[in-house]
Structure 1
C-alpha cells in the first residue's frame, strides 16, 4: 500500500474525544509457544471491556516476536485483527500496530499492518542508537506515507532516548501524524511535546495521549496552555495508550468516562489527586520500577494469570520473571485498591472468551 488509507470521520472524532487503548500482551503456553486460544480471548476481553482500541506488536507484546526464529509478529497482528473484526464493536475501535526498527523494517511492518486492516502504527523511536533527530524524522515521514502514525516518546530507562523540543515541533508537521503517545515519565519532556504540538500548524489534527504510567489520572485532567501569535491556545491529553491498561481494563474504561464527566467542571475534586496515587501505586507493583522495570511484562501477566486469561507468566525470554518482592507488591495493591480491579467482570465472561 503506497499511500495511507483515509480514516473514517467517526474514528478520528473518537480518537480526539479520548479512548482507552490497552497494549496487547502475548499469550504463551508452558513451552513458550503461542497460545492461540488465550491470545484470542485477550482480544475479546479488550473489546468487551469497552476499550476504544488495542495496540499490538508493542513492548507488552514482546519485541522478540520479530525474531526470525520466533516469527510471531504477523500471527499476533492477524489474530487480533480477526477477533476485532469478528466482534464488530458498535463503536469506533482502533487497531494500532507497533512499528519499530530502521526505515526498511519500519516500512515493511507498516505495510503489513495496513494490509491486515490496522488503522495506525505506533512508531517506536527506541533501538536506534546513534541516529540523529533528522534521521528519525525522515524515517517517520516514510512510515507515514504508508499508514497513519502515532508518535511515541519512550522513557530512556527502558530503551528510549531524549528528543529536543525542535524534534517534536518538526514531527508534528509531518502529514499523517494523527496522535502522539507521551511516555517519558518526566514532566519537562511531556511539556516539550504538548507545546510543540500546540505551536504547530497541525495542532487540531493531532491527539495527545498519555503513556506516563506514573501519572495517568493527572495527565488526563491537565490542560496545556501556551501563547501562539499572542493568543492563548489550549490542548489537553484526551486518553491513554498504556501497558498498564492491559489489565483491569474494564475499570480503566470506567475511570476515563468518570474523568471526562469531571472535566466539565472547572473545579476538580481533590479526591482525584488521591486516585492518581492509587493508580500509580498499582502500576508500580505491576511494572516494577523499583528494579528498573525488569518485571513489567511478567507483572502484567501475573494479573492476567490470576484472572484466568493467561495460563502462566511465561515470556519468550526465560530470564523475564517477577522481581524479588514483586508478587507481594501485587498482593498488596489488590488488597489496598479492590475498587480498581475488574476480576468480577472477567470471571463472568471468561469461559465464553476461552471457548470463542
Structure 2
C-alpha cells in the first residue's frame, strides 16, 4: 500500500485553498496510491486550533473527492487523530461519520502520560474506531517507548496496523518483534514511516523465534509524508519492490536506490536543520509542479530553511528518474478543474 500523508493547500492569506486541496487528492488517486492520510503532521496539526477549525473541512473534502472518483480498486482513507483522550475520541467519531477507514493515532504531545495511560487511551479510541499505531521520532514531537509497551499495544483489539517512524533501526525492530510475539500478529499490518530508510524497510523480511517456532513479518507498505510528492514514481517503486522482495536474491542496485531516496528525503524534510523545513519542503516540490500555489503554512514561522531550495534543485538534477513532473504536467488542468 502506498499511502501519502496529505498536505494542506493554503492561499497567500493562509486560508484554505479548496481548489488545490481537491487537486491534491485527485493527484494521489490518479498516481495510483492506495490510500491517503488526512489530518496528520503533513496536513499541519494547527488545523485543529480554535479560530482555524480546518480539521473537519479537510477530512470532508478528501472524502468527497474519493467518493466522486468511484474507483474500481481499494483506496484507504486514514484520518489523523491526536490529543488527550476526549479529543482523540471526538476526532475518531468524526472520522467514522465521514466514512474514514482507520485513524492514525498520534502519541505526540502526551509527555505527561505514562506508558500505561497511553495504552488505556489507545484502547478507548480503538473501542470506537480502527486504530493505526504511530511510533513517531522524538525530533518531531514523539517519544521513545519500551519493547514491553509495544508488546501490550499489539494485544489491543481493533489495532489494525502500526506505522513505524522512529527513524531508528533499534526502535523499529522493537515494534516488529513485539507484534511477532503477540497473539494478534496476523491481524496487524506494518507500515514504514522511516523516511530515512524507506526501501530497506519495504524489502526486509523480519524473522524471530517465538515459542520455538520461526515467525516472519514484512512491512506491507508506507504511510509517508515523503510520498506526498513524486507519488507516481513511489507507486512504481512499490510495485517493483513487491515483484522482487520474495526472491531469494535481491539486486544490489536496491541499496543504491535506498540511498538516493533517502537523499531526496533529506532535501524535502530538512534534517540538517532539525526538520524545521519538512512541511515547506514538501510544499515547495508541489508548488514547482503547480499542485500548490505557494509554500505557505498556518504557522508563518514555518518556511524553507536557508539552502533548502538549492538542495531540492540538486535532487532534480541528480535523480531525474525519481520525479513525476511529466505525469503531473499532463493532468494538472483536469485536477484543477471545478
- Structure 1 and Structure 2 fold alike (TM over 0.5): yes
Instruction: Give the distance between the partners of 2:67 and 2:233, measured in 1 at CA.
Output: 23
How far did residue 89 of structure 1 move? Answer: 1.3
- Aligned counterpart for 1:241 among listed residues 220, 223, 226: 223
- In 2, distance between residues paired with 1:236 and 1:195? 11
Q: Which residue of 2 aligns with 1:4?
A: none
In structure 1, the partner of 2:190 is 208
Deviations 1:75-110 (A, max 9, x none): 000000000111121111000000000000000000
The structural deviation recorded for 1:249 is 0.4
1:302 aligns with one of 284, 293, 297: 284
Aligned to 1:79: 61
CA distance in 2, matches of 1:196, 1:285: 33
Report the alpha carbon displacement of residue 228 of structure 1 after superposing the two structures with TM.
0.9
Aligned residues: 338
1:89 paired with 2:71, answer yes
**Residue 68 (structure 1) aligned to one of 39, 46, 50:** 50
Query: Who is 1:336 aligned against?
Result: 318
Instruction: Choose which of 139, 150, 153 in structure 1 pairs with 2:135.
Output: 153
Paired with 1:147 and 1:30, the residues of 2 have a C-alpha distance of 36
Secondary structure at 2:259's aligned position in 1?
A: helix
1:224 lines up with 2:239 in the alignment: no
Tell me the residue number matched to 2:250.
Answer: 268
Partner of 2:31: 49
Matched, 1:284 2:266: yes
Q: CA deviation at 1:251?
A: 0.5
Whether 2:206 is the aligned partner of 1:194: answer no
Partner of 2:7: 25
Deviations 1:176-229 (A, max 9, x none): 000000000000000000000000000000000000000000000111111111
Report the Cα distance in structure 2 between the residues aligned to 1:336 and 1:70, rounded to whole angstroms: 39
CA-to-aligned-CA distance 1:41-100 (integer Å, 9 cap, x gap) = 000000111000000000000000000110100000000000011112111100000000
What is the CA distance between 1:131 and its match in structure 2? 0.7
Cα distance in 1 for partners of 2:38, 2:194 equals 18
Matched with 1:130 is 112
Measure, in 2, the Cα distance between the counterparts of 1:74 and 1:107.
14
Q: Show CA shifts across 1:99-130 (max 9, x none).
A: 00000000000000000000000000001122
Secondary structure class of the residue paired with 1:349: helix
Structure 1 residue 163 displacement after superposition: 0.4
Give the structure 1 partner of residue 159 of structure 2. Answer: 177
Measure, in 1, the Cα distance between the counterparts of 2:29 and 2:153: 31
Q: What CA distance in whole angstroms lies between the structure 1 residues aligned with 2:112 and 2:158?
A: 26
Counterpart of 1:254? 236
> Which of 300, 311, 331 in structure 2 is aligned with 1:318?
300
1:92, 1:143 → 2: CA distance?
Answer: 24
| TM-score, normalization by structure 2 | 0.99
Partner of 2:144: 162
Match of 1:144 among 122, 126, 130: 126
TM superposition shift of 1:264 = 2.7
**Paired residue secondary structure (2:335):** helix
Structure 2 counterpart of 1:10: none
Q: For the residues of structure 1 that align with 2:53 and 2:137, how far apart are their CA atoms?
A: 27
Question: Which sections of structure 2, spanning at least 5 residues, go unmatched?
Answer: none
